[in-house]
Every structure is written in structure tokens, then in C-alpha cells.
């Protein structure tokens, strides 16, 4: 039987379980800030449901009912703040306090000043629906061109929750299906409350999927970043070069690659220690990033070697970027005093060509060849890779018969 105490007991158990799950997530991943709001939301909702149960026991007291409704309004506001935190949107405690305060004032007015069940239901339903409605766009709209499955699920569930509140509001105002009272449920309304319990679990499941997706992306990012400098690592570099090669093969549009080697880096480590060497690598990374274009990629391919991927760039444009990097290194070296360690680099520049196809190792080999030429010329230099010009059409065909004629002679 769907009695009132049974329904509120289900509510309490449901939100306590969700609160414990989110508390575990919050403790295990302290950097995941949305978990704090979703933990607070679940426990606040459990407290609100407990107060509603107290109202069932104390039938002559209405104060627990007012506090129960206020707690549930605060819980939905905290859940909405977690959504905004997840999508890195500005948080407003003022809005949360305003909605909660107005909800408390409205419930108090329609309880003590003017006793009205439809009035209380109207205030509660609107206060519950507004925070979810204002964040529906965040949940249902792809972010950065990518759909988050958990957010999509949470958005769909939020639409159903708002619809349930609308149905309950209609029932309470019009008296349809027996009207509504917190302490007395009709069978239809009891089913709606059970549906709300299910939807609250589904909503939090959507939040959990959002958290899993976020953590998975963080792990993927860490697997593609260099621990010391924070730029892409060799795996990320090869992945990006493969993508650019495939794109250029389809479009015929070239791109450039710079291979950079810090001159005399072994001597820095041997003379000043590995900590100083690490500092040099980090400093070089910061200097170089100031000379790149939006969309360019700097990666540390290993040791003291870096690469820069320049999408949609020609060999000439690649040489211009190489010159910029050299200029900033020279200017920095001129300012070095006392214990400062000047940094000099050698750079090889190569451009993707059709004969390289979708094989990034061919482009890397070409840039390495140019790097070797730059090192032969001294420090703080760059060189470009110019492949041998193709044979003139018909030249090869003319040479072969001539060689055959010599063999016959």
C-alpha cells in the first residue's frame, strides 16, 4: 500500500544513498568540484524528506512542512549549481539564496498567514522547476561540438521532472484527481511521487555519467601531455601529425613541421644539474608559446627535443615561425646575468608534400635532416628542408634507351 509514511521513507532512503555515493566521489576526486554541490543536494533533500515525515507524525504542527519544502527547494538549487560548476559557468549563491528565501516566505505565508494548499503547491512547484529549467540548455546543448551522454540524460530527466511538477500543480489548483496535500495522497498522486523518486535517481545517474566522462577525459589528456612542460608529448605529437597528414592528403593543402633541439643541453645537466636542465626546458616552453599562432601545437618529443606543428602553413611560413623562436631565445640570452643559463636552439623546418602521404615519420625525417644542417652551421640557427627537384618529364625515358644502347655497344 502506498501510504504517506512509506512514500517519505522511500524518499529519505533514496537521497541518503545518493548522498553517500556522491560523498565517496567527492572524497576520491577532491578536484571534481561539482561533486560537492551534488553531495550537498542529496543530503539536503534527505533532510527535507525527513522533516516531511515528521509532519506526518506531528499532525497538528505545520512548521516541519514549511522547513521540508524549503529544504527540498535548496536541494534542487544546489543540484543546479553543480551543473553550472561542471560546465564552468559562473555560480550565484545570491540566486540560490533568493529562490530558497522566496520559497520559504511563500510557504510560510500560505501556511500561517493564509492557509492554502494550492498556494503552497504553486510556490513549491515554481521554486523547484526554475533552477532546472534555467540549466536545461547547458544539459541538452553539445559543448565544444561534443555531446555529453550523461548531460543529455540529465537534461531529458529534468524535462520529465518539470512536467511532473506541472501535473501536480494542475492537480492541486484544479482539484483534479483528488487535489493534493502533503499529508494525504490520492492514488494518482502517489504514483507521481514514486515517479519523482525514480526520476531523482535517474537525474543523479546522469550526473554520475557526467563525472565519469569528465574523469575519463582528464585521464586521456594526461596521457597526451608531458609531465614537465605541460605541452603535448610524443604520443600526442604523432596523433596530431597523423591527423594533419590525412587532412592534407585529402585537401592537398600543406602544413609545416619544426623540429627543435636545445644546443648543449647535456652540458647544462652535467654542469648545473638536472633541476636546472628541467627549468631550462620549462622556460623554453613558455618563451616559445608566446611566438606561436592560435592552433599551432608545441610538443616535447623527448629529452631536449621539441616539435611545432603548423597547420595550413607553407615552408616559408614555417621559416618565419622558426625565426621568431630564435629571436626570443637570443633576446632572452642577452638578458641573462650571474647564474642565469642562456638557451640556444637549432631548428629544422620541413613542409608536408604529396609524396609523404599519410606517413608522419617521413615528415619528421625531413625536418630532422634540416635540423642536422642547422647544427652544422653553429648555434641558434635554423635550416629548411628542400627536397631534390623532380625529374623533368621525359628525361628519365630518354636516359634509359641511351643506357641500353651503351650496354649493347
Q: Which residues are catalytic?
A: 304
Q: What angle do CA 324, 258, 329 make, to 5 degrees?
A: 35
Distance (Å, rounded) from C-alpha 206 to C-alpha 267? 54
Distance between the two ends of the chain, CA-based, in angstroms?
110
- Cβ pair 310, 256 in contact under 8 A: yes
Q: What is the largest CA-CA distance in the chain?
A: 123
Distance (Å, rounded) from C-alpha 256 to C-alpha 384? 10
Strands 305-310 and 256-262: antiparallel
Nearest CA to 268 out of 260, 278, 258 is that of: 278
Q: For residue 266, with 0-12 CB atoms within 10 Å meaning exposed, 13-18 middle and 19 or more buried, which class applies?
A: exposed
Nearest CA to 318 out of 408, 254, 396 is that of: 254
Cβ-based neighbours of 304, under 8 Å, separated by 6 or more: 261, 262, 265, 266, 277, 281
Backbone angles phi, psi at 299, to 5 degrees: -140, 150
User: What nine digits make up the cell of 81?
Assistant: 549549481
Amino acid at each position: 500500500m502506498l501510504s504517506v509514511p512509506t512514500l517519505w521513507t522511500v524518499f529519505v532512503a533514496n537521497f541518503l544513498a545518493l548522498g553517500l555515493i556522491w560523498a565517496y566521489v567527492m572524497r576520491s576526486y577532491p578536484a571534481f568540484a561539482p561533486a560537492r554541490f551534488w553531495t550537498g543536494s542529496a543530503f539536503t533533500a534527505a533532510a527535507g524528506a525527513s522533516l516531511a515525515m515528521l509532519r506526518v507524525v506531528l499532525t497538528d504542527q505545520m512548521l516541519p512542512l514549511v522547513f521540508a519544502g524549503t529544504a527540498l527547494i535548496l536541494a534542487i538549487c544546489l543540484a543546479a549549481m553543480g551543473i553550472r560548476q561542471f560546465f564552468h559557468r559562473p555560480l550565484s549563491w545570491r540566486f540560490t539564496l533568493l529562490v530558497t528565501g522566496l520559497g520559504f516566505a511563500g510557504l510560510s505565508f500560505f501556511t500561517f498567514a493564509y492557509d492554502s494548499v494550492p498556494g503552497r503547491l504553486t510556490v513549491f512547484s515554481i521554486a523547484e522547476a526554475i533552477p532546472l529549467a534555467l540549466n536545461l540548455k547547458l544539459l541538452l546543448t553539445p559543448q565544444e561540438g561534443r555531446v555529453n551522454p550523461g548531460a543529455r540524460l540529465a537534461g531529458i530527466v529534468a524535462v520529465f521532472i518539470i512536467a511532473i511538477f506541472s501535473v501536480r500543480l494542475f492537480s492541486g489548483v484544479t482539484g483534479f484527481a483528488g487535489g493534493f496535500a502533503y499529508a494525504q495522497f490520492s492514488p494518482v498522486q502517489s504514483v507521481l511521487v514514486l515517479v519523482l523518486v525514480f526520476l531523482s535517481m535517474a537525474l543523479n545517474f546522469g550526473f554520475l555519467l557526467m563525472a565519469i566522462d569528465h574523469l575519463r577525459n582528464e585521464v586521456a589528456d594526461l596521457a597526451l601531455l608531458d609531465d614537465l612542460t605541460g605541452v603535448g608529448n610524443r604520443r600526442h605529437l604523432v596523433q596530431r601529425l597523423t591527423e594533419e597528414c590525412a587532412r592534407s592528403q585529402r585537401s592537398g593543402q600543406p602544413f609545416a613541421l619544426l623540429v627543435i633541439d636545445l644546443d648543449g643541453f647535456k652540458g647544462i645537466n652535467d654542469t648545473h644539474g638536472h633541476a636546472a636542465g628541467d627549468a631550462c626546458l620549462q622556460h623554453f616552453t613558455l618563451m616559445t608559446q608566446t611566438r606561436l599562432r592560435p592552433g599551432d601545437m608545441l610538443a616535447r618529443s623527448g629529452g631536449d627535443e621539441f616539435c611545432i606543428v603548423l597547420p595550413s602553413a607553407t615552408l616559408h611560413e614555417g621559416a618565419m615561425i622558426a625565426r621568431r623562436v630564435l629571436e626570443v631565445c637570443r633576446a632572452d640570452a642577452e638578458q641573462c646575468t650571474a647564474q642565469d643559463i642562456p638557451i640556444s636552439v637549432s631548428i629544422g623546418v620541413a613542409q608536408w608534400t604529396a609524396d609523404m602521404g599519410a606517413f608522419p615519420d617521413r615528415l619528421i625525417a625531413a625536418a630532422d635532416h634540416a635540423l642536422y644542417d642547422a647544427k652544422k652551421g653553429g648555434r641558434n640557427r635554423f635550416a629548411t628542408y628542400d627536397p631534390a627537384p623532380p625529374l623533368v618529364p621525359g628525361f628519365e625515358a630518354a636516359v634509359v634507351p641511351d643506357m641500353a644502347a651503351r650496354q649493347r655497344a
